[in-house]
Amino acid sequence: MPEHQTGRVKGVNGNLVTVEFDTAVMQNEVAYVKVGDMRLKGEVIRVRGNRADLQIYESTAGLKVNDEVEFVNELLSVALGPGLLTKVYDGLQNPLKLLAEKAGFFLKRGLYLDALDMDSIWDFTPIAKPGDKVRAGDYLGSVPEGIFTHYIMAPFSLKGTWEVIFVVPAAKYNLKTPIARLRNADGDEQDVTMVQYWPVKLPIPCYKDKLLPDRTMITQQRTIDTFFPVAVGGTFCTPGPFGAGKTVLQHSISRYAETDIVVIAACGERAGEVVEILCEYPELQDPRTGKTLMDRSVIICNTSSMPVAAREASVYTAVTIAEYYRQQGLNTLLLADSTSRWAQALREMSGRLEEIPGEEAFPAYLESQIAAFYERAGLVELNNGRTGSVTIGGSVSPAGGNFEEPVTQATLKVVGAFLGLSRERSDARRFPSIHPLDSWSHYTSVVPESEIKFARSILRRGQEVNQMMKVVGEEGTTTDDFVIYLKSEFLDFVYLQQNTFDAVDAASSVERQKYCFSKVIQVLETMFTFEDKDQARRFFQELQLNFIDWNYMPFESEKFNSQERVIDAKIQERKANA
């Protein structure tokens, strides 16, 4: 097959371009459509006979029949190497800051830049030695990247075992310099630089085994870690209507979760929320390092006003970068916001392809596409015995908060935890607005399962009493039922709700969660005696305030211990048979 071959445009329908070619093209191959002196990047999404359908990642204004198309015989790929951290890219891995410097704030069509600065200098230290046998993904050397040791790996595309012929000595090199040469059993040789390229639609397969996620990823959000935990290498989704607090929850998780690398895929979110991420991430302090959160983050940015095809690319670009850092032996967290916009891009392109529509006009293969994306999460054992992981969390924005729509339902079938955000709770200013009865998780909590079941039973019974009181009034309920309702409200206010803007309450350690939850369970299990409902209400209001003050005090400090004594004395006041 020639290195470059050409075709001719035969039809244009928005971002869908039909091209006629003479020889052969590949599915997912990159092609450039020439419009004047511009080359617009696209990807082959369907091949029929001697015609191919391309989705173009730019506006196709001015494109005409018989315009030339150039196929480059490469799959849509991303550059992987030192320098990814702190960067903000678009879905095609163009660095947005450099694009703005080169073209201004109104980005020019057909302008594509290197994802990494190929002339940047890195302090390389060799690991492999001449004569060593290596496979794809094995470490050849390392460079420091911020607080991490960034390993330079044998290209992921290698087949079989290769021998190291030479490795450069420890020194400073740029990304274009070959740092090693490899040779296989057939005598073929290949130079290796610090940068390699990998197709975004293919998972990186260079590991020994995929393990069962069995360790909780601590987010320091009480509702999540205690009631609806997420596993390291697991998957979760946060569906919710607009204004339910998805962005703030995303910030809290990315800031306080016990993970090494954070990758944000803003795949079609509204421009205002993307601007919020871009402005706040460099300002958010990382409590683990004392530096900014951006120092260990990569942001892939495609707003809803950008071409729809780029939304799909942004999701795959983000997950490929996450997998690359997994190969470093690191734990990576990928937050995709919002997968609903990605699904809408799939729907739009499916309509232009005139495919048979599924429910609500989404493509019939929507479920398999979503499943394939989430299946790229996982905890893996690498060839060298180290472990790395990709944990994927997707925000879903169903219209009107309707969880029965196809994107939410397709997501729920494949994720391990469902953190459903509630409009009712957000309107009541109960944040995080994760609904404690609708949400669920298949992963292991940081507290005993029996305590979780008991606490949720109190919440469920409290909700039933609340619904009953809306009909018959407070006077129509018994004191015992009213106390159950007060206990459920107590649990909600002192444990499920968390003040993201307080220095102490924003993040609750595992030790603190276990300790405080046992105290909450003690209150829920205790039988109290009250003369009337007013006395019961007053008691729980005072106890609730005591607990909320407790939440704002550093764990195991003198203030913390003193407040605990106040709480214990309060519990004894109305304890039955006290």
Give pLDDT tens digits for 228-243. Answer: 999 999 999 999 988 8
Tell me the backbone φ, ψ of residue 487, rounded to 5 degrees: -65, -40
Chain-centre distance for alpha carbon 521: 32
Same domain, residue pair 266 and 176: no
Which domain covers residue 43, as residue numbers? 5-76
Across 419-434, b (16+ Cβ under 10 Å) vs e yields bbbbbebbeeebbbbb
Structural tokens at position 35: 């419009």
| Residue where a domain stops, chosen among 194, 228, 256 | 194
Q: Which pLDDT band, with edges at 50, 70 and 90, does 311 fall under?
A: confident
Q: Domain for residue 99, yes or no?
A: no
Cα-flanking dihedrals φ and ψ of residue 415, to 5°?
-85, 160
Structure confidence at residue 485 (pLDDT): 97
State which of 441, 470, 505 marks the end of a domain: 441
Q: 103 lies in a domain?
A: no
**Which residue, among 282, 372, 348, 315, has the nearest Cα to 93 in the 3D structure?**
315
Quote helix, strand, coil % in the chain, to nearest 5: 35, 25, 40
Residue 491 class from Cβ within 10 Å (0-12 exposed, 13-18 middle, 19+ buried)? buried
In a domain, residue 105? The reply is: no
Per-residue pLDDT, averaged over 150-170, amounts to 97
For range 175-179, the mean pLDDT = 96
Tens of pLDDT, residue by residue over 424-433, are 999 999 999 9
Residues 184 and 228 in one domain: no
Is the distance from CB of 313 to CB of 92 less than 8 angstroms? yes
Q: Count of alpha carbons within 13 Å of 64, Cβ hemisphere only?
A: 5
Has residue 331 been placed in a domain?
yes
CATH number of the domain where residue 52 is located: 2.40.10.170
Do 307 and 378 belong together in one domain?
yes
500 and 530 both lie in a single domain: yes
Residue 212 has pLDDT above 90, yes or no: yes
| Gap between the Cα atoms of 82 and 394, Å rounded | 26
CA-nearest of 335, 302, 316, 413 to 45 is 316
Query: Is the same domain home to 165 and 47?
Result: no
Residues 430-472 pLDDT 10s: 999 999 999 999 999 999 999 999 999 999 999 999 999 999 9
pLDDT classification of 1: cutoffs 50, 70, 90: very low
Give the CATH number of the domain where residue 562 resides.
1.10.1140.10
Q: Is residue 93 part of a domain?
A: no
* Span 315-364, pLDDT tens digits: 999 999 999 999 999 999 999 988 998 999 899 999 999 999 999 999 99
Written as six digits, the tokens of 212 are: 């069962």
SS3 401: helix
Residue among 78, 14, 96, 38 at smallest CA distance from 303: 96
**Cβ(222)–Cβ(252) under 8 Å?**
no
Rounded distance between C-alpha atoms, residue 420 and residue 439, angstroms = 5
* Whole-angstrom distance, CA of residue 362 vs CA of residue 369: 11
Count of structural domains, the chain? 4
Together in a domain, 277 and 184 = no
Residue 359 counted as domain residue: yes
Q: Are 492 and 546 members of one domain?
A: yes
399 membership: H or E segment, kind and range? none
Supply the pLDDT for residue 2.
46
Residue 56 within any structural domain of the chain: yes
Spatial contact of 111 and 99, defined as CB atoms under 8 Å apart: yes
Range name among 167-171, 267-271, 275-279 with the lowest pLDDT average: 267-271
Whether residue 97 lies inside any domain: the answer is no
Alpha carbon distance 207, 327 (integer Å): 8
Residue 548 pLDDT: 97
Do 332 and 428 belong together in one domain? yes
Q: Quick check: pTM over 0.85?
A: yes
- Token pair, residue 50, equals 């001697």
For 435, the enclosing helix (H) or strand (E) is none
DSSP state of 495: I
pLDDT of residue 173: 98
Closest to 5 measured CA to CA, from 17, 28, 26, 22: 22
Cβ distance 416 to 236 under 8 Å? yes
Structure tokens at 188: 């073929």
Q: How much of the chain, in percent, has pLDDT values that exceed 70?
A: 98
| Residue whose structure tokens are 């950008």 | 306
User: Domain check: are 213 and 188 in the same one?
Assistant: no
Report whether 151 contacts 328 (CB < 8 A).
yes
Question: Do residue 382 and residue 456 come from a single domain?
Answer: no
Do 373 and 315 meet the contact criterion of CB atoms below 8 Å apart?
Answer: yes
In terms of residues, how long is the chain?
578
Q: In this structure, what CATH number is given to the domain that contains residue 169?
A: 2.40.50.100
The helix-helix angle for 558-573 and 533-551 (nearest 10°) equals: 170
CA distance 287 to 295: 12
Contacts of 409 (CB under 8 A, 6+ apart): 403
Nearest CA to 321 out of 84, 94, 90 is that of 84
Residues 41 and 164 in one domain: no
Are 308 and 392 in the same domain? yes
Q: What is the mean pLDDT of the chain?
A: 93
Q: Hey, how many other C-beta atoms are within 10 angstroms of the C-beta on 65?
A: 10
| pLDDT over 90 at 104, yes or no | no
